[in-house]
Every structure is written in C-alpha cells, then in structure tokens.
Amino acid sequence: MNPQTDNVFYATNAFTGEALPLAFPVHTEVEVNQAATAAAKVARDFRRLNNSKRASLLRTIASELEARSDDIIARAHLETALPEVRLTGEIARTANQLRLFADVVNSGSYHQAILDTPNPTRAPLPKPDIRRQQIALGPVAVFGASNFPLAFSAAGGDTASALAAGCPVIVKGHTAHPGTSQIVAECIEQALKQEQLPQAIFTLLQGNQRALGQALVSHPEIKAVGFTGSVGGGRALFNLAHERPEPIPFYGELGAINPTFIFPSAMRAKADLADQFVASMTMGCGQFCTKPGVVFALNTPETQAFIETAQSLIRQQSPSTLLTPGIRDSYQSQVVSRGSDDGIDVTFSQAESPCVASALFVTSSENWRKHPAWEEEIFGPQSLIVVCENVADMLSLSEMLAGSLTATIHATEEDYPQVSQLIPRLEEIAGRLVFNGWPTGVEVGYAMVHGGPYPASTHSASTSVGAEAIHRWLRPVAYQALPESLLPDSLKAENPLEIARAVDGKAAHS
Amino acid sequence: MNPQTDNVFYATNAFTGEALPLAFPVHTEVEVNQAATAAAKVARDFRRLNNSKRASLLRTIASELEARSDDIIARAHLETALPEVRLTGEIARTANQLRLFADVVNSGSYHQAILDTPNPTRAPLPKPDIRRQQIALGPVAVFGASNFPLAFSAAGGDTASALAAGCPVIVKGHTAHPGTSQIVAECIEQALKQEQLPQAIFTLLQGNQRALGQALVSHPEIKAVGFTGSVGGGRALFNLAHERPEPIPFYGELGAINPTFIFPSAMRAKADLADQFVASMTMGCGQFCTKPGVVFALNTPETQAFIETAQSLIRQQSPSTLLTPGIRDSYQSQVVSRGSDDGIDVTFSQAESPCVASALFVTSSENWRKHPAWEEEIFGPQSLIVVCENVADMLSLSEMLAGSLTATIHATEEDYPQVSQLIPRLEEIAGRLVFNGWPTGVEVGYAMVHGGPYPASTHSASTSVGAEAIHRWLRPVAYQALPESLLPDSLKAENPLEIARAVDGKAAHS
C-alpha cells in the first residue's frame, strides 16, 4: 500500500491518509554537506550585495509565488486539508511578508549604523573614530512548520528575513507538505535566476528522517537556525546547536498556551464573547500557535452563561480534518487523557474518524493548581476554561504560568485597576499582550513580537514575525579608524545609502 | 601556612603568593538560593522604576567608587599586582562606564519603542494598533574577570549594563581579588541605601568552589548570565545555561588571539611599528583580552628588521608579575610547550620566579598551517609573528582563523586594493576591526563592539562593552490595542518620556 522506500518518500493526502502522487528524494548528510558548502561559498558576496538588489530578489520571489498560486493552493489543500480560502490568504500574507522585508532592506535601518566621532585631543587618551554596523551571519538553516505551509515554511518569515539580512538559506522542508515546498522552492529558484544570483543562495532539502535535520544543525558552515514546531523536536535540535564545537543561535518557536483573562466587567458587557472565543480557538482547526489554550474567568453568573454558550457552540462545531495523521493521533490521545483526569469537565462536538471532535474543558482554579500538566499545549481544536474564585486568585494563577507567545485581557474601564496589576506579570511571560481581542491572527508589521519566554521561544529577545525578525541573522562589527575608502557604505561620512544612523548617541539622518 | 578551610578562603598576595589578611566566606547553594529568591522578589519593581531613578543609582555607584578609590587601589594592587596608575585609570573607566549607562537609561533609547498605527478600514482585515518596547529579563548573574578587577568585575560593564536595563544583579566575585570585590560591593550597597532601593538588587557572592558558579547559572530565578574568562570554564557554564529546563542566554567572552596583519607598505613607512607592537602585547603584562596574539607579515627585509627590533625589545622587557599563581603556571607551561614545537623560534626576556619572562615566537606560514594549536590564546606577555610568502598566502591564512574580539590592519594607501580584499574576511571573524592602531584599549562608547564569533563571544550578536551592551538584558514585548492609560509611558501617544521612537517604520521623535 505504502510506496515508501529508503530513497524516496511520498506526501500524505490529509483527508484520506493515502499517499499522493510524486516521489520526493530522502536527502541525507551528503546533500546537507553539498548545500552548506555551496551556501558558504556564495555567502560573502550575498551579504555584500547592495540593498536594492537584495530587496529586488525578495519582491521577485513574492511575484513568482503569486504567479503560481493556483498550483500551490491545489497541492497544499491536499497535503494539509486547509481550505482554499485560507491558503489564498496565506499566499497573500507570504508575499506581503517578502515585500515588507524588501522595504526593511531598502531602508537600511537593519544596519543599525552607529558612529562615534573621534576626539584626538581628549585627555588622558585620544578618543578614536569608531563606527558600527550589522552584517549577515552566514548560511542559515530553516525548518518549515506544518501549520502554515506557506507563511512559516519554505518561503516563510524565517527565509524572508534571512535572505533580507543577506544570509543564504537551506530549508528542511516539512514532511507534511513536500509538494507545496517543492513548488515554493521552484519559485525561489526562478527568482534567483531572474535576478542573476547563484542558486546556492537557496536550497530545499526534503526527507522523512530525523538525521537530515540533525546533520543540518550540526554542519560547521551553518551559522544560525530558525525553527517552528514542537517542544520535543525543537528542544532536541536546540541542544544540538549548543553542543557544536562552535555553538550557534537557535531561534525556535516551540509552544504556547496563550492564556486569556476575562474580567467580570467584560463578561457583563460583551454578549458575543463566547462566540469570539470559540471562533478563535477553532480557527484553522485549533492549529494556530496563538490559539487561546486557557481562559481564566471569575465565578460569576455571567461566566456560567459564557461557559454554557461556549459548550453549546462546541457541540455544533463541524468535524475537523487535522494537518497530518500524526497530529490527529496525538490530539486524540491527549484530549482523551485530559478528559479522564480528576476535576475536569469536557464537552465534545460530533466527529467520525479520520476527523476529530472539538473539545472544551472546564475546571476550577483549585483543580488547575493540582494538575500542572494541564498547562501543556494540546495542538488542535480544544481549550480549557478555569473558573477562579476572585481577582486575587486569578492574579496568583498568572504568577505560575510559563512563557507564552501571547497573553490576552478582556476588560472594561471599571476593571482597569485590577488589570493594571495583571499587566506587569503578563509582560514577564508573553511576547505580545492583546487587549479586548483574540491572539489568533499575527500582524506582520514593524512592532510585532512573535516570541516570548521559553518555551514560546528559545530566544526571548527575538521575534520570528515582523520587521525585527531580520535581527536574528545579523551581528555587529565595529570599525576603528578605517579610512573612508575602506569603510562600508553604511558608515561613510557622506551617508551614501541615506540611512538612519546614530551619531555620538543621538539619532541622525544623513 | 595556608589558613584555607571549608568555610572561608583568603586572597593571595600576587607578588609573594602568601595569603592576605581578611577571611572571605565560601558561599554555597544556600546563599545562591537566598540571593536569587530575594532578587526575584524585587525584580518587577526595579524594572518598572522610572529611568531617572535608575540613572541616579548608577551615578551614585560611580561616586561611591571614586570616594573609596584609595582603599580599592591599595587592596587591588596587592591582589592583582597591577600598578597603582593602571588601577587609578581603571576606577575612572569604571565610573565613566556607569555614567554612560546612566545617560543611556535617561535617553530611553534602550526601550527601542516601535509604534504601528491602526487602520480599522483595511481590507480584508483591519490593521491593529501594535506598540513594542523592550523590558528587563529579570535577575542576572555576573562572573567577574581576573584581569580587570574593576572594569570587568563586581561593578564592571556587565553589572552596570544589567542595572541600567533594570535587572537585579548577583555577582560571583573572582577568587583572584575578593577584597577588591568586597569594597566595590560595599559601594553599591551604600548607593542602594542612599537611593532608598532594596539591597536585594545587588548581591556579591564569594567562594573558591566551582559549585557556587554552577548553582548560580542553574538557579531558576536567574534569567541571563554575563561572563568573562577562559574557554574551559566559560564553555562549561554556557553548557549548563543551555541544559536548564528553561534555557537562558549566556553572554560569555571566552578568548581571542586578535590577529594583526601588517602590509608591506606599513612595514616600510612606520619606523616605530615594532615598539608599538611590543608595547601592545606586553600591556598589563599581556593579560588584556585584546592583546595582539598573532601578527601576519610578508617575508621582506623590512619584516626581518621589524622582527629583530621586536626581539631586542622583548629581551629588554622587565619581568612580569602575573595576576595569580594559576595564571603564571599556565603561562609558563604553555610558553615552554610552544617553544619546543617544531618550526618555531622563541625569544625570551630575563625573569626569575615568581615573575615570568615575556616571549616572542616567530614562524613561517608553512609551519603555522601545520600547528592549528598555535591559534589557541596564551594569556600573558607573549605573541607570535607569522612570516607569509605573499599577500595571497596571508589572505588564505585569514580564511582559517576562528572568531576573535578584534582584527587589526596596518597599511598605507598603496596597499588598499589588497586590504579591501582582506576586510570582508576580517568582518566575518572579528567584532572590531582596527586600522593602523593596536587592539588593546577598548573605548567605552556607543559604537563599540567587544564580542565577535565564538570563542570571542558565545553570543556574537552582542557586545560586552559600550552602550549596546544593555541589550543583552532586555527582551521585546508588543502591546496590541491597549488603552492609553494601561500602556507603559514609553509607548503612550503623547510620548511623555520624550524618547526616540519609530512610527510605521520611520524614525520619529515627538
């Protein structure tokens, strides 16, 4: 039945579980070495390529993706079971993301140019001329995510920001959508050709063996890693990256329960809160990394009504087809196991295998405290409501939470005094605070932070979405007393790139 | 003779090797836990303290250090054998560094505030209001370095930048100068008292057992580590920091050979190059992290003259008293071992134990290629000159070098075409490029980069000296649709802190 061999593998139809046409090579250490060596050879020229040419490459990739959107959507739909309208939106998002990074490169702000003017007469020692800019790290490995086959995969945010920084990229394609990755890789290859740039700037490696990713993270020419996935797999690769003779940064987004706090004033004021909540938790079949996985609310009649409405909405949910059989099996067993724990109530929708039911758990703060395992993310259409005794109880629970991508607050003005006590704690555990909204939907802008304390991110000072994501692939270099003709353009006195710079600690522009 | 017990330890007189008066407690896991728990309790208030109050604390610490400079210098001189004039300069440097970070905090630039304005009518989805700032990570552990008992120790750059960021600091004092660390800690304690801030914001822990540092790096309340020291010790703590259930950033400066490239034009033009070189390599008895540890030059008559002058200067060097008996023994055995390798020539100065001789090694590029171990840093007054066949040979050697804090070039205009081929490589291996100067002497300014690829730094995107060092202790948080009254001051519409901010991708200052 299954045509899998050691040399090739096949994608799985997410609806039927059957193999899809097209064999993909199982790449090994040999191909990793070829790709990394080739990437290292072109890395210096690519990082020194002028900004407008790198921006042009990103825009051309965006156009190529749009040109092949029909092919991409058709294949991605079969591989992921995501609806066509969602995939259409995701292509637009991915193309816009590439164009945002083109703007970032063109602005030159990523150089973070800082100039300290010399003072030869300073006592006791003269002050030297020191100028600093950021440069690309070198070849980068990117691991595609299963849940966003475009925006967080072969040409997703990690690839776009790394190419923008000037780093060649080697993508380890996700086994859940190899055909989608291949078409996307063809778009990037075509763009490189059109821009007359070497193909070694981008390589897609495919395979269904763990050794491939391990070889990639361990290769001496790889200088940083971008990863979106599970805590288990991500932590193993994180460990590898740090055990290398030369450790490298590993930017991993591993998991989040995205706590939501609903204050009594919001429960009273907002009639459609339960609808909004269920829509957010079931969006993309609950396979968003920003899914609200736990809701804290007070024990009031309005909260009881909120729970009942949410339960009734859950019962009416259509069955979900999850991304892969593995994700489905994992979801099923975790939901069944949690449902059989003490002190937890669960409501399911109707579903027949291979589809899965949505699930809503309800418990008390007392029981939540007894079950630290409930804080573990379950990937799929489920969430948990924790009924707290009072605001102090809710605040005290917040102090026990681990890192998350987001933390959400619902409240109206009368609760602001209590909310202002909660915010400082939420800053400490989340990359993004959301007010009177829902965490699903991650805006790709300048101010976005998609990260947060571990396990949300292995590198809480970084973001994997938004303009600042480019800084993951850069490091600073200072130039002391270099003559004008030898300085990089970003630091020359006349500021030929016309970029924002800081001079002697003050912002300056050209 | 030696009054060491399990509960106390004594400093060593660096000149005589005898124990100095004053017993210091050997702190253990118990004190680590007390200090970290207390630091965590005050962390939230300290990070939210307003900028001017944190700046004031830093200035008060600077004044306290200056007020006790006589005590500090007297004790540090005995503990480190560093001359009083050097220690006087180092107190000034340390105080200036604290004041620079006071300016950085006051300017508010460290918040890196970014605002994305909303667009409720954008299709297909409204654009949310997102604002982002940086906040402190929480309690930080700092490991003092032996070679700068003030500027890189208890109140050094790591402590100053972490306090500036709003992180409580726990210092593991270096065993080479416990008395100096204790006086410095008293200055900080006095400053906290004067500023009416809790003592738990700063704790000095002392001890001569490895377990102390390990317990500190492993403590769950510690959120980041700053370290300056050896590759061996640093890498072991780096590993610990990444093996924790919640891994934390480890900012370690571990070692560098600081290659220097002298082009033929400079050899011809600069008569005093050998004097400058020997002065730089023997500065602070060769115990600077930026000591030029290897010089590459072409095989010309001028290079031969340079070598002969340098050798003759080395022979005339006064004997060196190194920081500790351990450093002395390690230097002696490494220098003797290298001197007995094949294909290397060595010139020594005169010295009698416990002092050490300066040493200058000379070899050919051919022999350098055969001895990768020669690239390992030897801490102390020695360096190595590598005679290359031609510029191509020199460029090819540069491609083999590991990461370093600095890379230096000497050249006049006629060699610029060749220099411009070397610079792109040096950018890849060094944090700072120095032109027609020497790497010793690290300016504490806005543009400084004191870091570089491993092993110069375990985190090549960071610097441990200069204003940018504050970013090691910060992480970004985004706020989506928060009402004005709940936003932090750095992000409020009216910009009450009057800080530099970026709005919709453009720099703005309102």
- Residue with the two structure tokens 């987001």: A406
**Structure confidence at residue B506 (pLDDT):** 86
Percent of chain A with pLDDT over 90: 96
Q: Are A500 and B455 a contacting pair, CB within 8 Å?
A: no
Helices (H) and strands (E) in chain B, counts: 15, 19
**Structure confidence at residue B510 (pLDDT):** 44
User: Residue A251: is its pLDDT beyond 70?
Assistant: yes
Task: Locate A285 and state its tokens.
Answer: 């079949």
pLDDT in tens, B81-121: 999 999 999 999 999 999 999 999 999 999 999 999 999 99
Binding residues of B for NADP(+): 229-234
pLDDT in tens, A322-369: 999 999 999 999 999 999 999 999 999 999 989 999 999 999 999 999
Task: Locate B415 and state its tokens.
Answer: 């060699």
Task: Locate A326 and state its tokens.
Answer: 């593995």
Question: Which residue, among A345, A356, A417, A440, has the nearest Cα to A384 in the 3D structure?
Answer: A345
State residue A486 phi and psi, 5-degree precision: -100, -10
Mean pLDDT of A292-315: 98
Q: In what order do the strands lie in the sheet with B359-364?
A: A506-509, A500-503, A113-116, A130-136, A474-480, B430-435, B404-410, B259-262, B294-298, B382-388, B359-364, B344-348
Distance of CA A326 to the CA centre of its chain: 21
| Residues of chain B contacting A476 with CB distance shorter than 8 Å | 431, 449, 451, 461, 463, 468
pLDDT in tens, A130-167: 999 999 999 999 999 999 999 999 999 999 999 999 99
Mean pLDDT of B144-156: 96
Mean pLDDT of chain B: 96
**B253 a catalytic residue:** yes
d(CA B450, CA B104): 18
Percent of chain B with pLDDT over 70: 98
Query: Mind telling me how many Å the CA of A1 is from chain B's nearest CA?
Result: 42
Percent of chain B with pLDDT over 90: 96
A459: left (phi over 0), alpha (psi -120 to 50) or beta: beta
pLDDT in tens, A173-186: 999 999 999 999 99
CATH class belonging to A259-435: alpha beta
Return the number of CB contacts < 8 Å for A and B. Answer: 211
| Residues of chain B contacting A89 with CB distance shorter than 8 Å | 124
B507 vs A: CB within 8 A:
yes
Element at B224 (helix H, strand E): strand B224-228
Task: Locate A138 and state its tokens.
Answer: 């070198």
| Residues of chain B contacting A137 with CB distance shorter than 8 Å | 460
pTM confidence score: 0.97
Could you give the dihedral angle defined by the CA atoms of residues B301, B303, B308 and B313, in that order, rounded to the nearest 10 degrees? 150
Write the CATH number of the domain with boundaries A22-106+137-254+460-473. 3.40.605.10
Mean pLDDT of chain A: 96
Query: Mind telling me how many Å the CA of B420 is from chain A's nearest CA?
Result: 6
B242 vs A: CB within 8 A:
yes
**Structure confidence at residue B2 (pLDDT):** 47
Mean pLDDT of B180-198: 98
pLDDT in tens, B50-81: 999 999 999 999 999 999 999 999 999 999 99
| Beta bridge partner(s), residue B141 | B170, B225
| Residues of chain A contacting B413 with CB distance shorter than 8 Å | 483
Question: Which residue, among B181, B193, B136, B194, has the nearest Cα to B155 in the 3D structure?
Answer: B181
State residue B408 phi and psi, 5-degree precision: -120, 145
d(CA B397, CA B385): 13
Mean pLDDT of A457-461: 97
User: Measured between CB atoms, which of A44, A89, A130 is closest to B448?
Assistant: A130
Residue numbers of B between 197 and 216 with CB closer than 8 Å to A: none
**Structure confidence at residue B6 (pLDDT):** 72
**Structure confidence at residue B5 (pLDDT):** 58
Q: How many CA atoms lie within 13 A of A428 on its CB side?
A: 22
| pLDDT band per the 50, 70, 90 thresholds, residue A510 | very low
User: Residue B427: is its pLDDT beyond 70?
Assistant: yes
Q: Are A276 and A240 a contacting pair, CB within 8 Å?
A: no
Query: Mind telling me how many Å the CA of A138 is from chain B's nearest CA?
Result: 9
Residues carrying CATH 3.40.309.10, chain B: 259-435
pLDDT in tens, A264-294: 999 999 999 999 999 999 999 999 999 999 9
Return the ∠ at Cα A150 (arms to A149 and A154), rounded to 5°. Answer: 90
| Chain A residue with the nearest C-alpha to that of B246 | A454
Residue with the bigger pLDDT between A125 and B162: it is B162
Residues carrying CATH 3.40.605.10, chain B: 22-106+137-254+460-473
Q: In what order do the strands lie in the sheet with A250-253?
A: A202-205, A169-172, A140-143, A224-228, A250-253
d(CA A155, CA A163): 10
Angle between helices B178-194 and B51-67 (to 10 degrees): 130
Classify residue B5 by burial, with Cβ atoms within 10 Å: 0-12, 13-18, 19+.
Answer: exposed
Other Cβ atoms less than 10 A from the Cβ of B272: the count is 9
d(CA B439, CA B443): 10
Choose, from A221, A289, A377, A468, the residue flagged as catalytic: A289
Question: Which residue, among B449, B275, B287, B308, has the nearest Cα to B356 in the 3D structure?
Answer: B287
Other Cβ atoms less than 10 A from the Cβ of B195: the count is 17
User: Measured between CB atoms, which of A128, A249, A427 is closest to B443?
Assistant: A128
Q: Are B154 and B173 a contacting pair, CB within 8 Å?
A: yes
**A285 a catalytic residue:** no
**Structure confidence at residue A5 (pLDDT):** 58
Residue numbers of B between 34 and 53 with CB closer than 8 Å to A: 44, 48
pLDDT in tens, A463-474: 999 999 999 999
**Structure confidence at residue A2 (pLDDT):** 47
